[in-house]
Amino acid sequence: MKKSIEACLESLEAEILSLESGKTNPVQVKSVLEHLGLSQVRYADTSVSTLMDMLQDGIAPVSPDMVTALLRMTDGQRLLLYSMAGVVETRAEKIQKLRATGEYIDPAVQAEMKGQGEDKKEQGAERTPEKKRSSAAVQNGAEQAGAGAKVQPGKQPLKAQSTEIASIRVGTDKLDSLIEYVGKLMTQYAVIAQNSSLDAKAVAGMKELESVIGHIKEEVEKIRLVPLKQIFTPIHRLVSSLTLKMEKKVHFEVLGDDLELDKTIVEHINEPLVHLLRNAVDHGLESSSERVAAGKSEEGQLTLSARRENGKAILAVRDDGRGLDPERIRQKAIDRGLLTPEEGLTDEEIFQYILESGFSTAEKVTDISGRGVGMDAVVHSIRGRLGGDIRIQSEKGRGSLFELEIPLERSLSEGILDALIVQMREEIFVVPSQSVLEVYAVSPQELSTMPSGDETVDVRGELYPLFRLDEYFGLESVRGKSFQAGDVQAVVIRVGKKKAAFLVDDVLRQQQVVVAGFTIPVKEIYQVPILGYGMIGERDALVLDVEALFEEIG
């Protein structure tokens, strides 16, 4: 019941929030109320009813204060409906919440409503006789129709209404369980498919089975899709509240909220988007007086958008505010020892330093966005949990653009992973494909040691830092005392802007792997960069956590 109430009210809130941008109108809000079975909500309090009538009749213009009043009305109705559903038990509390709805409306708006309400009473008094006549006419017509109509038993059999159910609710735990079984099915298929003794008929059957399993996987993934509107609507309301609190004039636009993504992705992007929008309202956008002094319109522009592009979901937060100061960020990075004065970086590379934990150039801390901690959370969610990337573009005095790039193929500690299977000595490792740039056959001459002692590998003229994974896992050196060209492969990996390589004896193949987590926190206890393990044929293989690899060794 609570979920149904919340779904209805979220739809109503979305329409109310669209009033300010002109995407909807008061008549549509009324229609939504009726469609959701909430048409009586507007009469729960006379002030609320007056406000709705004023907006619908065009007596009062749509304003931020009006929108805020309607949203607060929705809050009151949320509490009331929850209480009616048994969330709050006492009747006294229900009545109190109902009466409290009118108190949410700003006093200035109430004063305007009172005057308009008196006018409407006078207008209503003039129309009352006509309404009564209409009601009487309808009643008389009904009586006449009733007098002339005779219903004979058995002549007009009642028709049963259709009971076809178009949709059902399924718990996410059931979907997760289904995904797990699909994964196990894929694992068993992989084991059988590697059996070289299969005859031609069995091989043909296996190919057909592979196609069926692929279709099942696709359908399950479709079921897990949810529209971004589920998080964009609450975010829209949050931004409206923040702009009022900060007393800033902001036009906030939401684009692409009908885009559907996997529920896990949607859950993990909510917090990063909130952090970015808080920062934009608090630090990015100027006050009206500052904007006018800078030759801008007094109303700031803030946009949240979503789109698909090249197998990725791109979520963007754009503002036309102060922008980032690359020189200030550069100096802060030097002061913290993250950068040397001699290093030459592009502005886009310098902007990446604001993603470091605790990094901030803000002169004062506020309760809206804090100081740097939120950006660290953005990195953890987007790069750590989702295997995505963060791009930052900005021009001082013109505004900023933050883009979150998220691969649509999920990369989680438990799930189905597209992977590169490699071998180091006798051990098999799984590398997430989304982190692999290329594989390169190395010759001894392409390996070198820097004066600092760090090793590098030259791949087509570009030097990459070399991770010694063999030594890290306590294996015999892949490199050995000597090797011939082509005997050793360099796997080039990337996380964000960071790139590196490690050596392996062999690259076996690419395939999908079912990744399972450990029953104990292995990564935390043994300090090894692994996500979990997967089955490759009949063997267990460790799944490398590439981001943790950069943190631990790089």
- Per-residue pLDDT of 303-315, as tens digits, reads 999 999 878 899 9
Answer yes or no: do 390 and 463 share one domain: no
527 neighbors 552 (Cβ within 8 angstroms)? yes
CATH at residue 529: 2.40.50.180
Answer yes or no: do 435 and 499 share one domain: yes
> pLDDT above 90 covers what percent of the chain?
19
Answer yes or no: do 234 and 330 share one domain: yes
Answer yes or no: do 189 and 246 share one domain: no
SS3 per-residue string spanning 390-445 = EEEEEECCCEEEEEEEEECCCCCCCEEEEEEEEEECCEEEEEEHHHEEEEEEECHH
Asked if residue 471 has pLDDT above 90, the reply is no
DSSP string, 121-154: HHHHHHHHHHHHHHHHHHHHHHHHHHHH----TT
Residues 255-282, mean pLDDT to the nearest whole number: 91
- Per-residue pLDDT of 116-157, as tens digits, reads 555 545 555 554 444 444 444 444 444 444 444 444 444 444
Range of the domain at 179: 172-223
Give pLDDT, residue 326.
92
Element (H, E) at 493: strand 488-495
Residue scoring higher pLDDT (537 or 203): 203
Residues 532-542, mean pLDDT to the nearest whole number: 69
Answer yes or no: do 331 and 319 share one domain: yes
Which of 183-187, 357-361, 451-455 is modeled with the greatest confidence? 451-455
SS3 per-residue string spanning 161-205 = CCCCCCCCCCCHHHHHHHHHHHHHHHHHHHHHHCCCCCCHHHHHH
Residue scoring higher pLDDT (152 or 530): 530
Asked if residue 331 has pLDDT above 50, the reply is yes
**What is the number of domains present in the chain?**
4
Residues 470-494, mean pLDDT to the nearest whole number: 75
Give pLDDT, residue 540.
76
Establish if 269 belongs to a structural domain: yes
Give pLDDT, residue 496.
72
Establish if 48 belongs to a structural domain: yes
Establish if 180 belongs to a structural domain: yes
Residues 223-237, mean pLDDT to the nearest whole number: 89
Please tell me the least confidently modeled range out of 39-48, 164-173, 415-424.
Answer: 39-48
48 neighbors 42 (Cβ within 8 angstroms)? yes
Establish if 367 belongs to a structural domain: yes
Residue scoring higher pLDDT (397 or 551): 397
Asked if residue 504 has pLDDT above 60, the reply is yes
Give pLDDT, residue 144.
44
Answer yes or no: do 524 and 548 share one domain: yes
Residue 282 structure tokens: 């608090």
- Per-residue pLDDT of 19-28, as tens digits, reads 666 555 555 5
- Per-residue pLDDT of 33-48, as tens digits, reads 554 455 555 445 455 5
Asked if residue 339 has pLDDT above 90, the reply is no
Establish if 280 belongs to a structural domain: yes
* Dihedral (Cα; 318, 273, 11, 242), 10-degree rounding: -80
Asked if residue 253 has pLDDT above 90, the reply is yes
The pLDDT-based confidence of 199 (bands split at 50, 70, 90) is confident
Give pLDDT, residue 448.
87
Residues 381-393, mean pLDDT to the nearest whole number: 86
Query: Of 341, 373, 407, which one is at a domain's C-terminal end?
Result: 407
3-state DSSP helix/strand/coil % of the chain, to nearest 5: 50, 20, 30
Which of 8-22, 307-321, 330-344, 535-549 is modeled with the greatest confidence? 307-321
Query: Of 103, 121, 139, which one is at a domain's C-terminal end?
Result: 121
Residues 382-386, mean pLDDT to the nearest whole number: 81
Handedness of CA 99, 101, 104, 107 (dihedral sign): negative
pTM, full prediction:
0.57
Please tell me the least confidently modeled range out of 143-152, 246-255, 523-532.
Answer: 143-152
Answer yes or no: do 329 and 469 share one domain: no
Residues 154-166, mean pLDDT to the nearest whole number: 52
Establish if 82 belongs to a structural domain: yes
Give pLDDT, residue 305.
96
Answer yes or no: do 401 and 485 share one domain: no
Answer yes or no: do 503 and 456 share one domain: yes
- Give the 3-state secondary structure of residue 157: coil
Query: Of 407, 437, 455, which one is at a domain's C-terminal end?
Result: 407
- What is the CB neighbour count within 10 angstroms for residue 320? 22
Give pLDDT, residue 140.
46
Answer yes or no: do 383 and 447 share one domain: no
Establish if 351 belongs to a structural domain: yes
Please tell me the least confidently modeled range out of 394-408, 439-453, 454-468, 528-542.
Answer: 528-542
Answer yes or no: do 403 and 430 share one domain: no
Establish if 428 belongs to a structural domain: yes
Which of 138-142, 242-246, 260-264, 395-399 is modeled with the greatest confidence? 395-399
* Mean pLDDT score across all residues of the chain: 74
80 neighbors 97 (Cβ within 8 angstroms)? yes
500 neighbors 550 (Cβ within 8 angstroms)? yes
Please tell me the least confidently modeled range out of 53-62, 108-117, 313-322, 405-414.
Answer: 108-117
Residue scoring higher pLDDT (383 or 287): 287
Asked if residue 381 has pLDDT above 90, the reply is no
- How many Cα atoms occupy the beta-carbon half-sphere of 14 within 13 Å? 17
Answer yes or no: do 244 and 293 share one domain: yes
The pLDDT-based confidence of 511 (bands split at 50, 70, 90) is confident
